[in-house]
Chain A
Amino acid sequence: MRKFFLNGSISPLSSQSNSRSPSPVLQILPTHRFQPRQIHKRPTIKWALVLVALIAFYTLGRVVSSTQRPAKRDMDDNSFLLGEDIPSVRFYDLSQSTGSSRGWERNERVLICVPLRDASPVLPLFFSHMRNLTYPHHLIDLAFLVSDSTDPTLQTLLHHLSILQQSSLRFNQALVFEKDFGQGVGQAFSDRHGFEAQGPRRKVMARARNWLLTNALTAEYSWVYWRDADVETAPATILEVHC
């Protein structure tokens, strides 16, 4: 069955594709008529849905990964000596970290204990000494005990620590403890060194040192270095060369 059009050709398709001869007559097809632009659906909603879906996936992923976070890898102990690396079980062989004369080459870690009391004025000097220490800083942990201070020792300490620990000379970590021991003796030179004050003062200092030590000394350390904050000059190589 054939359909005849106005121009006499058999069909619009055959007239264009099959005969390949340009038609002399202008064809006006229904599709060539003016048609008002279709009102397209706005794409905003679609994209918003995609965005919401992405956010949902992301949040879900975060939640799942935080709840199923793999146990902390115990790279810093000797768990492999147990035959397998059991998560959350740590094994320490302290006979390997007794401290030796070649500590720096054997990555022996040092805990520096510093009792502080009304030490605000001497802290800048102390920190310059710490920065100058030649022992590898990533093997050193600092532990401070701030006690019975009437001056802003703690604030000054935190200020200096925040600068130091964000610099290239940063130490492995710094621990700051604050505890008062009720020292009845003043910190002035004449107070500290009067004869009557010596016995009680030494006993309180001993309590403070023990408190700091038992809180800070963990299994990683091979050495403990006690250092007063008011040392004025000391060799930067004091840890590995001079001691």
Chain B
Amino acid sequence: MRHNKDVIVPNVWRPLPDWLGGEQPYDLNSWQESETALQLARELHEDAVIVEGYQEYATWRPHLAYLRDPYGDPLEEMDLDGVGGVSILSKARVFRSGTLFPAFSYERHAETEVILSHYQANFRDSGNGPDEWDLKSLDCLTM
């Protein structure tokens, strides 16, 4: 709320036993778009859904979760193009504008990862684009 962004998500990690390194980047759905992924999306069938973190779809996107700096400023921001659904704070106007979670393949993605581009599409004509931001070093741990 203090960042006053339309959509904002924290960095989400998953705790692991110490012998596995202690923690694992969990929410790979928060990413910046990459040229490789755009190329991949162009090649895939229109019903396909690209998901992150699987070798079948090598997108080479910068993921929020891997960019975490444990000693970084928790208020540091980072631009994102897709978000994961673990913890999203968004302004109600995002959804009032008609933005939904696509339950179909939208630009080769589904659900939370494309609410941003869906939102942008809603605003494409109005001129004032939305922000999607993420907090680089804030931690949420998930199970």
Query: Could you list which residues of chain A lie within 8 angstroms of chain B, going by C-beta atoms?
Result: 94, 97-101, 103-104, 111, 122, 195, 198-199, 202-207, 209-210, 213, 217, 221-228, 230-235, 238-243
> Is B15 part of the binding interface, using a Cβ–Cβ cutoff of 8 Å?
yes
Within 8 A of A (CB), among B60-112: 74-75, 85-96, 100-105, 110-112
Known contacts A228-B85, A235-B138, A243-B10; is A99 also within 8 Å of B92 by CB? yes
A165 CB, min distance to chain B CBs, angstroms: 23
Give the tally of cross-chain contacts (CB within 8 A).
Answer: 145
Smallest distance from the beta carbon of B63 to chain A beta carbons, Å?
Answer: 15
Contacts of A226 in B (CB 8 A): 85, 87-90, 112
Q: B10 contacts which of A207, A210, A222, A234 (Cβ < 8 Å)?
A: A234
Q: Tell which of A199, A225, A230 touches B89, judged by Cβ atoms closer than 8 Å.
A: A225
Are the CB atoms of B93 and A98 closer together than 8 Å?
A: yes
A–B complex contacts, Cβ < 8 Å, 5 sampled: A98-B92, A100-B1, A224-B88, A231-B87, A243-B89
Q: Does B54 contact A (CB under 8 A)?
A: yes
Residues of chain B at the chain A interface (Cβ within 8 Å): 1-5, 8, 10, 12, 15, 48-49, 51, 54, 56, 74-75, 85-96, 100-105, 110-113, 135, 138-143
CB-CB under 8 A for A213 and B95, given A103-B1, A227-B87, A243-B135? yes
Closest to A243 in B: B89
Q: Which residues of A contact B102 (CB under 8 A)?
A: 206
In the A-B complex, the 8 residue pairs with the smallest Cβ-Cβ separation, listed nearest first, are: A199-B49, A101-B4, A206-B103, A206-B101, A99-B91, A198-B51, A206-B111, A243-B89
Are B142 and A232 in contact (CB-based, < 8 A)? yes
Given A203-B103, A210-B101, A228:B3 Cβ within 8 A: no
Q: How far is the CB of B12 from chain A (nearest CB, A)?
A: 8
Chain B neighbourhood of A217, CB < 8 A: 92, 95-96
Contact of A231 among B1, B86, B93, B95 (CB under 8 A): B86
Q: Is the CB of B110 within 8 A of A203?
A: yes
Contact residue among B5, B86, B90, B142 (Cβ-Cβ distance under 8 Å from A224): B90
**Contact partner of B1 among A101, A203, A204, CB < 8 A?**
A101
From A111, A206, A224, A228, name the one whose CB has the most chain B CB atoms within 10 angstroms: A206
Closest residue to A234 on the B side, CB-wise?
A: B140
> Are B87 and A210 touching (Cβ within 8 A)?
no
Residue of A nearest to B83 (CB): A226
Q: Which residue of B lies closest to A212 (CB)?
A: B101
A204–B85 Cα distance when bound, in Å, is 13
Q: Is the CB of B10 within 8 A of A242?
A: yes
Q: For A99, what are the chain B residues with a Cβ–Cβ distance below 8 Å?
A: 1, 4, 91-93
Q: How many Å from the CB of B61 to the closest CB on chain A?
A: 16
Q: How far is it, in angstroms, between the C-alpha of A202 and the C-alpha of B113 when the chains are bound?
A: 10
Q: Is the CB of B101 within 8 A of A243?
A: no
Which B residues are in CB contact (< 8 Å) with A104?
1
Q: A202-B51, A224-B90, A240-B1 are in contact. List 19 more A-B contacts (CB 8 A).
A: A94-B96, A195-B56, A199-B49, A204-B103, A205-B101, A206-B101, A206-B102, A209-B85, A209-B101, A217-B96, A222-B91, A222-B92, A225-B87, A228-B85, A231-B12, A233-B139, A242-B135, A243-B1, A243-B10
